[in-house]
Amino acid sequence: MPHPRAMPVDVTPRERQTLEHIVRQQNNPQWLVTRAKIILRAAADQTNGQIASELEITRNTVSSWRERWQASGEQREAVANEMDDDKSLRELLENILRDNPRSGAPGKFSAEQMAQIIAIACEDPETNGYPVSHWTPKEIVMEAVKRGVVESISERQVGRFLKRGGLETAPDPLLAQHERKRPGGVQRTGS
């Protein structure tokens, strides 16, 4: 069964030049290059099936980007008429080709709160009145609440912040490791 004719795509010569530059630049993210290729091929009257096959993506993806490109026509035209510099045009095209913001609840903790929690983990626990040489997530939680950084936070969330902050590669452990009993009664520190 034949597919309906794909929506035509209009690309001005300046837009084409900018999209071709995006495709040629080697340090651009793959998602941006792929989407620029979709628009260039669509402007060259390729079908959704041809584009999908060449770029190894789905027809629905091609169709969606065709529609988004055409829906941005007035916005693109306004910028083209207002500004002559290619940098503004490129920024606009990159914004058009970005993913839409995702739905969902905003994060519970601000970047500042995360930074303050990570800073606590970098301090010496003994200078803060804790009788340990390394922080545990439980003690970081207690200290963050005590300082008013957060009203409450789970030990697990503290662990996520520390891991996301790149602290998992620190040469010395920032968190105390629990001792585990091994068979035969020998104790071992670490995981």
Please report, for the domain that includes residue 170, its CATH number. Answer: 1.10.10
3-state DSSP assignment of residue 189? strand
What pLDDT sits at residue 1? Answer: 55
- Residue 2 within a domain: no
pLDDT in tens, 20-35: 999 999 999 999 999 9
Residue whose token pair is 């999908």: 52
Burial 54-77 (b: 16+ CB within 10 A, else e): ebebebebbbebbeebeebeeebe
**Does 123 lie in the same domain as 185?**
yes
Angle at 36 between CA 30 and CA 38, to 5 degrees: 105
**Does 128 lie in the same domain as 84?**
no
**Does 178 lie in the same domain as 117?**
yes
Residue whose token pair is 């309906």: 4
| Count of structural domains, the chain | 2
- Residue 160 within a domain: yes
CB burial of residue 93 (10 Å; 0-12, 13-18, 19+): buried
Query: Whole-model pTM?
Result: 0.56
**Does 182 lie in the same domain as 116?**
yes
Domain span holding position 159: 111-189
pLDDT in tens, 53-82: 999 999 999 999 999 999 998 888 887 777
Angle at 11 between CA 6 and CA 49, to 5 degrees: 30
Q: What is the mean pLDDT of residues 125-129?
A: 88
Say whether pLDDT at 97 is over 90. yes
